[in-house]
Structure 1
Amino acid sequence: MGWQQEETMANDLLYDDDPFACYTPKETDISSYQSLGFSELDLENDLLQPYSIDNLSNSNKKLSHNAYERDRRKKLNDLYSSLRSVLPDSDHSKRKVSIPVTISRVLKYIPELQGRVERLVRRKEEIMSELPSSRPEEQSHCVASATCLSNREVMVQLCLSNQDAMVSLSKALKILEGEGLHLMNASTCTTEDGRCFTSLHLQAREVFKKDNFSQHLIKEIKEKARLESNITSTPSLYMQY
């Protein structure tokens, strides 16, 4: 009898600690819960939905970032490709040059161009100083010179009277195009005595085959333009790199 009382007391203490331990759900309770429209699946979906939305948002952000980076890298590569294209042909190679090497070559090439411009300015001054005094009978006088800048580029300079400038320049351009040269850029200035000084920067489709290409150009301009009597050729230069 003593042991049965102790077991009964232990059971009572267990139920006192957990007031719901002896609760058994009734069928009416379950039906009332389901009548509210809830189910275990609904609860699971409610818990997982915010997480799924966050994942979708992060995925969209990542895709947008990747697309932006691809576009940015493409634009940079296009810019560096354009930069490589203006370097001298001797610097071009079949294999792709890295960006640091390209920048290094550009930094080296810029001072060379500046030096070339200074030499051309001095050459212009020399030509201008060699011009005879302007008299009415000498207005048709023309001075032409050619300077090879590389094995594919040449600078042709013409000094014409204003009245003959357009005609003579047009003839000269046709002759130069016939020699396989295309015009890259040109500059023109007019002097106080009514002369037109024109500088033509041209590039050949192929490497110059003639050693004295600048002298050859002057000869062609004189002969084909039929200006032998009023064209004076000045010494030409060939600038080595």
Structure 2
Amino acid sequence: MTDLTNAVVLVTGANGGLGAEFVRQALERGATKVYATARNPRAWDDERIVPLALDVTSQESVDAAARAAADVTVVVNNAGIGGMEPLLETSVAEVERLFATNVFGALRVAKAFAPTIAGGALVDVHSVLSWIALGGAYSASKAAFWSITNSLRVELAPQGTQVVGAHLGYTDTGMTEGLDVEKSDPADIVRSIWDAVEAGEHEVLADQVSRDVRAGLSAPLAALYPTLAGA
């Protein structure tokens, strides 16, 4: 388990609704400092929050952030971009752009901070779409990220790093602003994730839809994809 009391936390994608909640709740739980990172970091009104420029698609930017935040004990891989169009209607270049941020960017951050977070924690923010292909390239990127997290969990275990994979459905953030669907409150999602970190969990299913889809993975494919039943 990883106690956030006196922790130094770094959050990628901290400008967004989910990222800002990670920052706020980490401080509520006793973190002494939070590096709030983004390509163009925003201003904060709390001296415990350190804005830090970080473009996860740039190795140079990630390396610079790792040097600037050498005291970090917990990293939250939250940065991501959306794109839910069907794969056959999406250019390969656009698929590569999604993977550059959602997969390789997250891996780049994990590798850069791995030595720093020995004995601490890495939190990777996935999606229920890691397990169900309803989001085109976005689903594919989150599935790849989930697999990478599973590998990182095993590889970082010997140094005492807790790796937590967090899965969630639609959440009320800027990324889902145009979607007319039921959405979870970001505060509730982040609370569930931090609870799992402090409880020593390896994975957190932060809402009911994630729990339902996870439970259905052992069922025949047609149960997850009803269109296959009539194919």
More helix by share: 1
Identify the TM-score tier after normalising by the shorter chain.
under 0.3
Q: Point out the structure with max Rg over C-alpha.
A: 1
Higher relative contact order at CA 8 Å, sep ≥6: structure 1 or structure 2? 2
